[in-house]
Amino acid sequence: MKIALYSQKYKAEYAPLLTSIFEELIAYQDNIVIEADLLRRYSEHNPFSYTVDTFHNVEDLPSNTDLMLTIGGDGTILWAMTLIQHLQIPILGINTGRLGFLATISQSEIGEMFSKIHNGQYHTDERSVLQINDSEGNPIAPLNFALNEVTVIRQNSTAMITVEAYLNGKYLTSYWADGLIITTPTGSTGYSLSCGGPVIMPHSKTLALTPIAPHNLNARPLIIPDNTEITLHVSNREGCYLATYDARATILPCASPVRISLAPFCLKTIELEGNDFFKTLRNKLLWGEDKRN
């Protein structure tokens, strides 16, 4: 197999983990493709003589890569998606962070992980991705897509913003709030959840609109089909607002409405046998935990 390795930020404590990953890859005679900066940082203090290929961005990442292993948390997977984009290379995350709804493999499971991968004991999921454009359909930024959520939110002010929402050209409502989150099923366990949004099954063909601290108290999260085109007109005293898409953001003038829709590609993730979304909910959100029992 051809397996890529990526980590958003290299840390010295990753060295033993990377060493064990390399040992497994070499034992299985896999072809290794590693992000160039990750290899440079690791090699500074760890002798490494095995032949590998390197990549810097989506242009030089081999399209025939079988899967990408990420080292970090869910945020690392969000950045890894910017390297994969349309290549449709599946991602499997090794969790070195805290929560990890996407990066679900613990460091103690490395050996078992490689065994399941090479024995075909896994399946591939497709996760919806959003894109955010201006009213003319042009990207608001070069990397204008998001796996978790797109958000419009107040910028440099304590005053609320007003968000007029249109679904497929039809007026829905105006939110008086700190902002509005448009979340995918993947992102439903993130920012949206903390604002009272629903947990959505990963394969649901839906999106959720979740207001952030709404002043019109009857405003509640809304589930919509994921093929809906959402247009947002934002107004406030400052004359500008912040549009975020995963870990990236752009300041936009209120005169610029945005259109949010499905991106032309999805993100593929790998789920090993024995892991599933319900297990993740129980482990990460402590569903079913009760000190009385």
CA pair distance 126, 185, nearest whole angstrom: 11
Q: What are the DSSP calls for 68-127, one per residue? A: EEEEE-HHHHHHHHHHHGGG---EEEEE-SS--SS--B-GGGHHHHHHHHHTT-EEEEEE
Q: Is 74 a catalytic residue?
A: yes
CA pair distance 76, 204, nearest whole angstrom: 24
**CB contact at 8 A, 197 and 188:** yes
User: What is the 3-state composition of the chain as percent helix, strand, coil, each rounded to the nearest 5?
Assistant: 25, 35, 40
- What is residue 229's three-state secondary structure? coil
| Given 30, 66, 74, 226, the catalytic residue | 74
- Find the helix packing angle between 15-27 and 110-118, rounded to 10°: 30
CA pair distance 185, 283, nearest whole angstrom: 18
Phi, psi of 97 (to 5 degrees): -100, -140
Look-up of token digits 């005169």: 255
DSSP letter at 139 equals: B
CA pair distance 148, 154, nearest whole angstrom: 19
Q: Would you name the residues annotated as active-site residues?
A: 74
